Chain A
Amino acid sequence: MKLDFSPEDELFREEIASWLAANLCGKFDSIRGRGGPGDQHMFIDERKAWEQKLYQGGWTCIGWAPEYGGRGATIEQQVIFNEEYARAQGPGRAGHIGETLVGPTLIAFGDQEQKDRYLPEILRGEAFWCQGYSEPGAGSDLANVKTSAKFDDTNQQWQINGQKVWTSLARESDYCFVIARTDSKSVGHRGLGFFLVPIDQPGVTVRPIEQLTGTSEFNEVFFDDAHCSIDDIVGEPGDGWKVAMGLLGFERGVSTLGQQMLFQNELDEIIVLAKANGSAQNPQIRQRIAEAHIGLRIMRFNSMRVLSSKETDGSLQKEAMIYKLYWSSWHRNLGKLAMDVMGSESEVLEDGPYQLNRLQSMYLFSRADTIYGGTNQIQRNLIAERALGMPKEPRG
């Protein structure tokens, strides 16, 4: 065990901090602190341009191995990067899904040709991705997907039909990774494939869904004879479930560090507000602020422990499994704390027709945290059945 940063790490800290100071300014001033949870669809063009700026400085995909264009940054360096990025109020990363989910998935499961094709444009901040898992009939029961993928011999391409739902940021994305059934006679997690599907094509229709926030980050995505090339299936037909679950493993990996820094910014904002409006004198509020701080530290130490252990190949370890339940519940409480600190003002919108301020949208979004990416109930089932090995509940 060694819990301090080395002198080299501190040099690295200086490097990223000064780069951010020199570059996150001018035309990027307006997006400082924007695009975080609940705000991810905002300033999308500016934030895409910012991704390209980051790339020019060598700051995208720093955890990827050098052969894929990354820096092969150590865990410590990635921690530092995320800390400094949050401290500088770096905007929510538009390239997040590509960098932390698609990239690692292709590196682990993709073939050389796919890596050559997709990794460089993610690295350069030029291609943006969304996640096409859920369907009307496949939420918690993800293996129930009905979207079909047939190989079309004449055109030598995959033909996709069906519907996805709740697809976040589909309108802002260039590609969607889709789980679809390659074996029409199969049920459950057998007979699925994992596809890389371009969105800008006649067979794909994206329709926004309005959220209770009044904004539309998520969408319905319809596939009517949409297609992708013969090379756009990751793994073999039938491997879809394995790849899809591998990707979810990455979701609980390094990407948690950046998320925690956003949480820290939110907590800081709440503390500033509590001091300013007097609610910090309320002993109940003081205790909850302390509890929030404690929870955030617990998450950070747990992440660092998981990430610094040897098995960081994205397989679902016990520690990773407990993480989603913990952070989502913690964040939901933080949202409640924010509203209680705001008091009567928590009701008052910033502007019309339904413009929430940062803490208000954080509050509403935190209610979705316990739902997407596996609900709290499903997480508890996983912990009990997979981590603890308890008897399985009847399914269907």
Chain B
Amino acid sequence: MNFTYSEDQLTYRDTVAALLAGEVTAESIRTRWESAQGIDANLTQQLSDMGLNAMLVPESCGGLGLSELDFILLAQECGRVAMPEPLVENAMVATAMLSDIAGSGLVAANQCQDVLEKIATGNVSVACGHWINPYINMADTNQWLLLPHGEEVHLVGSQAVDLIAQRSSDPSRRIFKVNWQPSSRTKIADGQLGTDLWRSALNRGALGVAAQLIGLAENILQRAVIFTTDREQFGRPVGANQAVKHLLADCAVSLEFAKPVIARAAYAVATAPTRADWAVSHAKVAASQAALLSVRHGMQVHGAMGYTWECDLQIWMKRCWAIDKTWGDAGFHKNRIHEWLLNPNALMGAEHTFGKSMSLNDETILEQGAV
């Protein structure tokens, strides 16, 4: 048993973190808010040059052939700087799904290999929809979209979809509703495989969000510590008050305790994807709770300053609020957990969850993992 990341994983994380710290500043994010597409093409290029898009592309397609476990630390760093570019969802969800199909015996395998090769060289990007998300972030910056129709998976060219822009409460996010027509030409998987693919997509998406939330929240906590050390009232730093210290200490505790849960979930997704639901749901719930607590307390200790547009804290807070509801909200994930606990032999899956209606097949009876 070993819960630590490898030297390589940590070194790569540090390299990426250093790049992001230089390139993705609060100021540059505010500049993106004013721009049409909301992304920095220069940064996208740099990330691609560093091989980030290609991490989950199989080596046979020119990628690095790595796994979610390798990507998770990077997702955390993307969160830490509140990066607006949709790297995590594209590289960890869409790419991984294409890789799954490319490795299958399906007719579409060739087409997916072709797309993956272009992803690896940075010439193409692909977004991934899901029935659980009504909107796709930055859908307009991709050449292809993976879209669900029942359990079917469709790979649709961007020229064949109608994107309806919506405004997000997080100005860094550019969300779109996607209108499109499924056809036999766009269908690349269906049946049981389709079901499995969408389930994996949900797990990868939720895992990516969980990791980003941890990074976002750690940044908020750091800002709160700095602010309460600088800001004086009653002739001393407000952070000298126990009431303030305890608020932030609670954030640190819940953040630290969420981290191994995310590692465990990434491990499950990478090594036993059909049995990862419970681990991912746990990770999403734990990360969300830690992040929302950090937002709440981080804002509270900023006093009125935290309620202003000028204060950069809002960039991180609004991201947490927005992505917390993507890839399944807390209610959805808690439900997956308690169904698994209370009724371990019951069929699991979306259609067995209140309030959502989706026809997905399921077969998996979740087994309790090792840890």
B166: A residues at CB distance < 8 A = 348-349
Q: Say yes or no: is B308 at the interface (Cβ < 8 Å to chain A).
A: yes
Main secondary structure of the interface of A (DSSP, over half): mixed
**Closest partner residue, chain B, to A348 (CB atom):** B166
Q: Which of B63-119 contact A (CB under 8 A)?
A: none
Contacts of B300 in A (CB 8 A): 370-371, 375-377
* Chain B, interface residues (CB within 8 Å), range: 35 or more
Of all chain A residues, the one with the shortest Cβ separation from B301 is A377
A346 an interface residue at 8 Å Cβ cutoff?
A: yes
**Are B134 and A344 neighbours in the complex by a CB distance under 8 Å?**
yes
Contacts of A282 in B (CB 8 A): 331, 354-355
Contact with A along B291-315 (1 / 0, CB 8 A): 0000010011001101111110010
On whether the beta carbons of B355 and A281 are closer than 8 Å, the reply is yes
Size class of the A contact interface (CB-based, 8 Å): 35 or more
Compute how far the CA of A209 lies from the CA of B306 in the bound complex, rounded to whole angstroms: 12
In the complex, whether B169 has a CB less than 8 A from a CB of chain A is: yes
Give min CB distance, A373 to chain B, whole Å: 11
Pick out which of these stretches binds chain B: A113-121, A134-142, A265-273.
A134-142
Contacting pair B307 A211 (CB below 8 A): yes
Q: Determine the residue in chain B with the shortest Cβ distance to A393.
A: B241
Q: Are B304 and A372 in contact (CB under 8 A)?
A: yes
> Which of B166, B299, B331 has most A Cβ within 10 Å?
B331
CB of A377 within 8 A of CB of B304, answer no
- Chain B residue at minimal CB-CB distance from A166: B304
Give the interface centre of A166, A214, A347 by most chain B CB atoms within 10 Å: A347
Name the A residues within 8 Å of B234 (CB-CB): 140-141, 144, 395-396
A356 within 8 A of B: yes
Knowing A281-B354, A284-B334, A340-B329 are in contact, say whether A349-B321 is a contact too (CB < 8 A): no
Q: Decide if B160 is an interface residue (CB 8 Å cutoff).
A: no
CB-based contact A347/B233 at 8 Å: no
Supposing A140-B238, A339-B321, A396-B236 touch, asked if A347 and B168 sit within 8 A by C-beta, the answer is: yes
Set A140, A214, A343, A344: member contacting B303, Cβ < 8 A: A140
Contact: A278 with B134, CB < 8 Å?
no
Tell me which of B238, B318, B325 has the highest count of chain A C-beta atoms within 10 A of its own C-beta: B325
User: Once the chains are docked, how many angstroms separate the CA of A252 from the CA of B311?
Assistant: 30
Chain A interface residues toward B at CB < 8 A: 134, 139-141, 144, 165-166, 209-212, 214, 218, 278-279, 281-285, 332, 339-340, 343-349, 351-356, 360, 367-368, 370-372, 375-377, 380-381, 393, 395-396
Name B residues whose Cβ lies closer than 8 Å to a Cβ of A. Answer: 133-135, 166-171, 173, 175, 233-236, 238, 241-244, 296, 299-300, 303-304, 306-311, 314, 317-318, 321-322, 325-326, 329-331, 334, 354-355
